[in-house]
Amino acid sequence: MTELELILAAPRGYCAGVDRAVETVEQALKLQGAPVYVRKQIVHNLHVVADLETRGAIFVDDVSEVPKGATVVFSAHGVAPTVHTGAVQRSLTVIDATCPLVTKVHNEAKRYDQAGYHMLLIGHAEHEEVVGTMGEAPDSMTLVEHVDDVASLPEYPADQRLAYLTQTTLSVDETRSIIEAITQRYPWIESPEKGDICYATSNRQAAVKELAKLTELVLVIGSVNSSNSCRLVEVARDAGVDSYLIEDATKIDRNWIGDSTKIGITSGASAPERLVLGVIEWFREHSDGITVSELETVHEDVSFHLPRPIRRALAVVAVDPPASN
């Protein structure tokens, strides 16, 4: 393989919500020891989940699988109110690692529901975030997945209060098209005061658009169930370059590279940076030489506080640290 230029997108990888969620499980394990139960994948990345499992995290599909009285962490994607109720019924200690930006959408759903609105939720069916959001007002919400779905929506009367919400990890461009179709059909529909697609999703997609202008191939590191990672592949392809989603360096197909000399690399918001380093090392081993540069389109400095139960426990440890042997 000839000498290659690798261009890394910046920003890439962990967003503030993912970083917060992963650290929540890590701190819970340090503070109380294993096991710590986690409902669903804490974030959508198999490497992250496997690493936490080796430390003592136990991932379950439902709170009914958690022993009564144990600790359970809710994932970054958020949960429906019924899940909280189930945890209370089992006397579980809950640490809610829902991303604050997802919580924002939940709060919007509750507010609109209480005010008598019907909501159109733009998102992907079965995605955990969508399931959790729809659970806030299941009788007052309709899911819209694609722009073509808008034509089949009901003929709501003009006096019907309507609002739309979106999943936080969608394609910015595709969502814009859906919103345009919705607002054209229902001109009186209301929108959130601030868009629901999160800053990290928007920033990573914008970075990939710029990356596509400079490269012949874009590799996106992320898991297949990571919505934001899948959207990055779509964005790159829409920009006119070949793009593939890879779990890690072992999934690279040498046939993809062909005559490419400039290759873009990015990673989804739930992919740890060590996977990017692994991909760089793969190219170092399989080419006659590489150069590595970074294309920064925006600087991110967002951070979120850890969930209150973790902060309280850390404060207690700081005041009264365990005695050393």
Contact 250, 46 (CB under 8 A): no
Residue type, 22: V
CA-nearest of 87, 97, 94 to 128 is 97
50's CB contacts (< 8 A; 6+ apart) are: none
Q: Provide the 3-class DSSP secondary structure of residue 106.
A: helix
Q: The tokens 């393989």 sit on which residue?
A: 1
Task: Tell me the two tokens of residue 27.
Answer: 């701190």
Smallest CA-to-CA distance from 203 within 167, 168, 164, 239 is with: 168
Decide: 96 and 42 in contact? Cβ < 8 Å. no
CA 208 to chain centroid, in Å, comes to 17
What percentage of the chain's residues is helix, strand, coil (to nearest 5)?
45, 20, 35
Q: How many CB atoms lie within 10 A of CB 289?
A: 11
DSSP letter for each residue of 166-187: E-TTS-HHHHHHHHHHHHHH-T
Residue 193 among the catalytic residues: no
Closest among 37, 44, 113, 124 to 77, alpha carbons compared: 44
Residue where the block lists tokens 């998102």? 123
Q: Which of 129, 174, 190, 285 is catalytic?
A: 129
Residue 294 bridge partners (DSSP): 8
The C-alpha atoms of residue 39 and residue 48 are separated, in whole angstroms, by 14
What distances in angstroms separate CA 162 from CA 23, 101, 113, 136, 282, one per listed residue?
38, 22, 10, 16, 51
The amino acid present at 15, given as its one-letter code, is C
Catalytic residue IDs: 129
